Chain A
Amino acid sequence: MWRDTVLVAGKDLRIEARSKVALSQVAPFGIVALVLFAFALGPDRGLMAKGAPGLFWVAVLFCTVLAVQRSVSVESADGARDGLRLSGLDPAGLFLGKSAAVAAQLVVLEAVLAGGVILLYGAKVEVPWLIVVSCLLGTVGLAATGTLYGALSAGIRVRETLLPFLLLPIAAPVLLAGTRIWQAAMAGGTASDGSPWLRLLVVFDAVYVALGIVVYGPIQESA
Chain B
Amino acid sequence: MIPSRNVHAPPAQSPRARWAVGIIGITAVAATALTVWLGLWVTPPDQSQGDLVRLVYIHPGVAWVALYLAFALAAVSSLLFLWTRTRSMFWDRLAAASVEVGVVFNVCTLISGSIWGKPTWGVWWAWDARLTSTAVLLVLFLGYLALRRVPAEPDVRAKRSAFVALFAAVDIPIVHFSVLWWRTLHQGATVLNPNLSPTIHGSMAWTLLLGFVAVTLVFVWMLLVRYRIGVLEDYLGTGELDVALRERQAEGAVTDEEEAA
Across the interface, do B163 and A152 meet the contact criterion of CB distance under 8 Å?
yes
Across the interface, do B175 and A223 meet the contact criterion of CB distance under 8 Å?
no
Across the interface, do B163 and A219 meet the contact criterion of CB distance under 8 Å?
yes
**Given A162-B150, A165-B146, A223-B156, does the pair A204, B181 have CB atoms closer than 8 Å?**
no
Across the interface, do A223 and B160 meet the contact criterion of CB distance under 8 Å?
yes
- Interface flag for A111 (CB, 8 Å): no
Across the interface, do A211 and B147 meet the contact criterion of CB distance under 8 Å?
no
Query: Interface of chain A, helix or strand or loop or mixed?
Result: helix
Across the interface, do A145 and B167 meet the contact criterion of CB distance under 8 Å?
yes
Tell me the complex Cα distance, A149–B160, Å. 10
Number of interface residues of A (CB under 8 A): 31
Q: Which residues of B contact A200 (CB under 8 A)?
A: 174, 177-178, 181
Across the interface, do B156 and A170 meet the contact criterion of CB distance under 8 Å?
no
Q: Which residues of A contact B179 (CB under 8 A)?
A: 176
- Interface flag for B189 (CB, 8 Å): no
Option from A152, A170, A204, A219 in Cβ contact (under 8 Å) with B140: A170
Q: Which residues of A contact B166 (CB under 8 A)?
A: 211, 215
- Interface flag for B250 (CB, 8 Å): no
- Interface flag for A218 (CB, 8 Å): yes
Query: Interface of chain B, helix or strand or loop or mixed?
Result: helix
**Given A166-B147, A173-B174, A196-B181, does the pair A148, B167 have CB atoms closer than 8 Å?**
yes
The 9 closest A-B pairs by CB, nearest first: A222-B159, A173-B178, A169-B139, A176-B178, A166-B143, A173-B174, A170-B171, A165-B143, A169-B140
Chain B contacts to A: CB under 8 angstroms? 82, 136, 139-140, 142-143, 146-147, 150, 152, 155-156, 159-160, 163-164, 166-168, 170-171, 174-175, 177-179, 181-182
Chain A contacts to B: CB under 8 angstroms? 145, 148-149, 152, 155-158, 162, 165-166, 169-170, 172-173, 176-177, 180, 196-197, 200, 203-204, 207-208, 211, 215, 218-219, 222-223
